[in-house]
Amino acid sequence: MPVLATGLGHSFRAFFHSVDQFFSNLAAVDWLALLVALLFFSGYVVLRSRAIFNSLRAAYPSERFQWREVWGAYVAAVGFKNVVPGGAANIIQIFLTKGSIERSTFPTVTAAITVATLFDIVVSILAMIFAFSQGVFPKPPDFSKLNAFDLSYFASHPEFTLFVLTALAILAILAVALLSLRVRAFWARVRQGYTILRDRRRYLNEVAAWQAGSWVCRLTAFYFMLEAFHIGGSVRNALLVQGVQVVSTIVPLTPGGAGVQQALLVTVFAGAASTSAVAAYSVGQQIALAAFALGLGFIALVTIFNIRSFKEVIRRGREQQAAEAAR
């Protein structure tokens, strides 16, 4: 426990030091580049939501539902991902999406949404390979030296990490066993969610193509964020930022991977600019994207779903679960 408390304390101090550097360097921010970055980030969200919509449309060809509702559910999840840790934001997306499609089920909707992650995984792996090949990205054994509690703690305690992974695997097996009586119907619904994968041409045209465009927008947003904070925008640096993003999602104990992102960005760009500039960028990018995404998320909740609180999202989700269980 003392080790836990000490690591957590170092992580918080490093994070708030970066916040202080951000506000100290606020006058130096290139606001035009920051605005362009946010526009490209919104383009990323729009294009990726279209890929998800096409996946859902393949799973439910006879149901009528609108793209704006799928976009609204996704942007709400993106916004809340920077406020709540773990997978809570993904649950919001699933609840809102299911409520937009009549006669839909949670397994099918969840599977259709996760179709988009296949492309993401490929791009993320390639980004990680590139990041590690550049000589500035810390190797996994060095993660324990970072001022990021969640990442450094798991990296420096491999036995505990193995225990957690084993426990999660056992819980997954128990869940399948408990649901064995309904497992056949469950997997049938899951397969329905992956319908579009059985038509390779349709998948490439209606999912992969949209996601390719979304990734161009995402990396371009990182490029202009680097320019806004005077770190130096380049394809290489944008890919390094994406590598940091991938690592920060591996252990999602903090909202948006806060702490992990800051520690890694300071390490990766240590030689690209002054320490204060890199520290300001490390937290400034997250604050800008989080605030922008959260604002879009609230607008989507109010204007599309007529929801004005997080509790109402949960309430509607529970009602949907009860209705599905009663079928």
Q: Which contacts of 12-15 are long-range, i.e. CB under 8 A and separated by 24 or more positions?
A: 12/149, 12/259, 13/147, 14/147, 14/148, 14/259, 14/262, 14/263, 15/147, 15/258, 15/259, 15/262, 15/283
- Lowest mean pLDDT: which of 164-173, 264-273, 311-320? 164-173
Is residue 257 within 8 Å of 249, Cβ to Cβ? yes
**CA 60 to CA 54: how far, in whole Å?**
10
Give me the torsion for CA of 320, 305, 83, 30, rounded to 10°.
Answer: 150
- Lowest mean pLDDT: which of 108-122, 134-148, 272-286? 134-148
What does the pLDDT read at residue 110? 92
- Nearest by Cα to 254 from 147, 129, 137, 165: 147
Domain housing 57: 2-325
Run of H or E including 107: helix 106-133
pLDDT tens-digit map of 98-132: 989 988 988 899 999 999 999 999 998 998 899 88
Tokens coding 253 = 């104990």
Is residue 240 within 8 Å of 268, Cβ to Cβ? yes
Number of structural domains (the chain) is 1
Which amino acid does the sequence have at 280?
A: A
What does the pLDDT read at residue 36? 97
**CA 305 to CA 84: how far, in whole Å?**
20
**Mean of the per-residue pLDDT values of the chain:** 79
Q: Which of 21-25, 71-75, 252-256 has the highest mean pLDDT?
A: 71-75
Statement: residue 50 has pLDDT above 80:
yes
- Nearest by Cα to 38 from 226, 298, 241, 225: 225
Which amino acid does the sequence have at 15?
A: F
pLDDT tens-digit map of 161-205: 555 556 666 666 556 555 555 667 778 888 999 999 999 999 999
- Give the whole-number percent of the chain exceeding pLDDT 90: 36
Which amino acid does the sequence have at 47?
A: L
Which residues lie below 8 Å from residue 237, measured CB to CB, with a gap of 6+? Answer: 222, 223, 226, 231, 269, 272
What does the pLDDT read at residue 326? 61
- Nearest by Cα to 202 from 18, 319, 59, 106: 59
Residue 131 Cα distances to 143, 198, 281, angstroms? 14, 33, 19
Tokens coding 161 = 């990490």
**CA 21 to CA 249: how far, in whole Å?**
24
Statement: residue 134 has pLDDT above 90:
no
- Nearest by Cα to 69 from 108, 95, 37: 95
